[in-house]
Structure 1
């Protein structure tokens, strides 16, 4: 063999490796900026980075109550994004997200009351609670989708599960209703569970509603958002959209539509469970009313107003509606639910794609027109 060929081979190997890395990077970028999500290009990601930076700086110029309240808003975004996947991308309107929320919240309470918070166990309890929410959603999804339940009947089934679970938990007030040291307490709710803790030399860091919890939740929201963007722009997300648009055609192309719907429903349940466990850790309590009819309807309003068919619009709309709803509750509680209902009605009649999604598309068209 000619030794002069060796450097050329090495250069060829390096070139191939570089090409593979570039192609892998292109795949990741394409999944962040694919056709199933709005927002792409340098301008979008620059604005997104500035928003996250502003959110990170905000607690330094605010009071502890406002910071804890902002953390409360972020807790609910996971359930909203999960419902966006189930309803907006899969086409299955679920009224049962609060059932998974409540199951995970109670599971977190039972686990942490019985086993404590030392050595970071709260995070293990959080993961177990999320898994339970996802497993319940997979079980319900299996019977619904493999039972060929469609359309409005999905909403009826999921709402029935939620109301049955709420009614059962409200009737567990007696002393016999306990799991180890954790009493369920009926309609009064469970309390006394520890917040999230971070193991640290010299003692665990307790994440009470404040600066620490705020930054943990901010990081979780960003990671969840980016992960969902990549998932929805991957082949899995493309199949979900195909099922939403025409399930019969997707089946004729060889896809098991029921399996995809069940998996999407399980993902939505896991994200709702994440909200439930974080809510319980944030407030150190959970009640059956968090799964009631009003609680079940509110996520529908958040996602519809934001825009159910885009994860960015869902996230922004949820935060905006939560802020508005809380303000209405503080200054005019008797009108808050009426205004929310009116907002949903206006959205459905005038901007069925969602207020934020419609606004984002309008801004995008105007910006493209200005560039020309």
Structure 2
């Protein structure tokens, strides 16, 4: 049965990534730009899947690290415009800064014995504080070098990523984001199936028992939280380079809530499910916005209620399991029957 589950998810993931790699050949540049945005936001969902779904750390603070990465990249690149190779360096340093900020916060929380709902409350308060603060940064008093933080207007004119002579815009940016997503997805799958990944899951299931086996639980929690912060920061940087702007809405409560709902509704213990549901949601929300409707969040909330009541493991994960039962489990049963008949024949 386990083999069936793995086969279902792997087949779906392979088909999705194959489709994503070839779809720019068949769609217009505007659609490619939109999908680039959807994929950029998938990193934010992956960050929460890692820390919440696998390690059991519920966080409302991923939007904080998302905003930290985006704002840092904007300030650095705008202050050093014209400097060779500054945008890749800004990307790298922004990811490191997001991970470091998450590690510092995680260090004080987990070594201080803070866990469960209190982690959610602390990260929620941090989100609200930064959202309020960044909204009050209008005026010349809030300049970093040559860059004004802009208050509610945020920062505009953020440079696109450049790799040497290649400007990452249009299809180039799309494939850059897609390749990074594919690599990180594969690394996360390998990591969570390793011995360290097993320890992370053990912490989620029973922290005290994991401590008794000799694991340094606060250290592992802090490192996983830092990895989640780095992924969220990467998402913020890609978002800033995609639209060439970033505003304090990146820290808003709605921005912090959406990834939580997406991960919970898709399947918080499954990376493939998180990516699929995130892309579907943003595609659906954009379609509603284009038609003048603003009910995407309301519909998402209703979906979460239904998921909680009927499919608590998530919609996408439920479909994976359904496919297992309908196809792969049936095949495994047939093989068992055939082997049993062959064994009886040999005995006879």
User: How high is the TM-score relative to the length of structure 2?
Assistant: 0.91
1:298 is aligned to 258
| Contact 1:325–1:340, Cα closer than 8 Å, also in 2 | no
Q: 1:65 aligns with which of 17, 23, 30?
A: 30
1:349 is aligned to 2:309:
yes
Could you tell which deviates more after superposition, 353-362 or 315-324?
315-324
Where do 1:101-250 residues align within 5 Å?
Answer: 101-116=66-81, 118-199=83-164, 204-208=165-169, 210-250=170-210
| Contact 2:66–2:235, Cα closer than 8 Å, also in 1 | yes
Q: 1:275 aligns with which of 222, 225, 235?
A: 235
| Contact 2:4–2:329, Cα closer than 8 Å, also in 1 | no
Deviation at 1:115, TM superposition (A): 1.1
Q: Distance in 2 between matches of 1:206 and 1:137?
A: 30
Deviation at 1:48, TM superposition (A): 3.7
Deviation at 1:38, TM superposition (A): 8.6
SS at match of 2:269: coil
Q: Distance in 1 between matches of 2:82 and 2:322?
A: 48
| Contact 1:104–1:277, Cα closer than 8 Å, also in 2 | yes
Q: Distance in 2 between matches of 1:153 and 1:195?
A: 38
Deviation at 1:45, TM superposition (A): 4.7
Deviation at 1:75, TM superposition (A): 0.4
Find runs of 4+ consecutive structure 1 residues off by over 4 angstroms.
43-47
Deviation at 1:314, TM superposition (A): 1.5
Q: Distance in 2 between matches of 1:151 and 1:269?
A: 18
Deviation at 1:342, TM superposition (A): 0.9
1:310 is aligned to 2:310:
no
1:54 is aligned to 2:19:
yes
Task: Name the Cα RMSD after superposition.
Answer: 1.7
Q: Distance in 1 between matches of 2:159 and 2:284?
A: 29
1:256 is aligned to 2:221:
no
| Contact 1:38–1:310, Cα closer than 8 Å, also in 2 | no
Unpaired runs of at least 5, structure 2: 335-348
Unpaired runs of at least 5, structure 1: 1-34
Deviation at 1:39, TM superposition (A): 5.2
Q: Distance in 2 between matches of 1:168 and 1:123?
A: 28
1:81 is aligned to 2:46:
yes
Larger RCO, structure (CA 8 Å, separation 6 or more) = 2
Q: Distance in 1 between matches of 2:9 and 2:46?
A: 20
Could you tell which deviates more after superposition, 333-342 or 120-129?
333-342
Distance 1:353-1:47 versus aligned 2 partners, 3 A rule: closer
